[in-house]
Amino acid sequence: LYLQSQINPHFLYNTLDTIRIKASINGDEEVSRLIMKLVAFFRFGMGNTENEVPIRHEVKLMQVYLQLMQCRYPSLEDEYQLDEALLEAIIPSFILQPLVENSLMHGLKAVSYEGKLTLTVRAADDAPGDILIELSDNGVGMSESLMERFNEASMAPEEAGAPRSHIGVRNVQERLGIFYGPGYGLTY
């Protein structure tokens, strides 16, 4: 919320719209469309000040973010396997985008972003009432030792590498733990 409050959304949207109109007048429809996608991302992400949102909102934010990335990396694909009945369930806001960004930077970057991200939302098989949200990519993967460290509930930030590494993933893990309690969070 602190970071979100640093930007006046009204000013940002109006400025971006002015740039979009100028690009369109100058005949650059591609830049105009890209700016529209950026505005949509800001509206879904930064325009939201709620701590909790429906899963549907997080999915839409992820889709808009990936549309922006696909302008830069046209070989990047995405796929969604969503149980529509679960999309109104409430989850902490802004948890998927950091995971998607992590997947891009650590999974698909090494293969020149020529891969696929898949998001699955379904009922958990082993815990009635729980929802499983699975994000996967077909990039380079990660070492078993790093996976083990991420899966340790007591992982201190410094254990994952450099002191500031994997901040987004740790932030999501901590927020899920606070929101749902012990036994819930990210699993690799």
The rounded percent of the chain whose pLDDT value lies above 70 is 83
Number of Cβ within a 10 Å radius of residue 40: 18
Bridge partners, 121 (sequence order): 82, 133
Q: Between 36 and 55, where is the model more confident?
A: 55
- Decide if 58 contacts 48 (C-beta within 8 A): no
Q: Are 174 and 157 in contact (CB under 8 A)?
A: no
Model confidence pLDDT, tens digit, residues 41-100: 777 666 566 789 999 999 999 998 898 889 889 999 999 999 999 999 999 988 998 899
Average pLDDT score over residue span 141-153: 81
| Stated pTM of the model | 0.77
> How far apart are the C-alpha atoms of 124 and 138, rounded to whole Å?
23
Which tokens sit at 40? 């949509």
Element at 121 (helix H, strand E): strand 116-123
Residue 166 in this model has a pLDDT that exceeds 60:
yes
- The b-or-e profile of 111-143 (16+ CB within 10 A means b, else e) is eebebebebebeeeeeeeeeeebebebebeeee
The per-residue pLDDT for 7 is: 46
Taking the C-alpha atoms of residue 76 and residue 114, their distance in angstroms, rounded to an integer, is 5
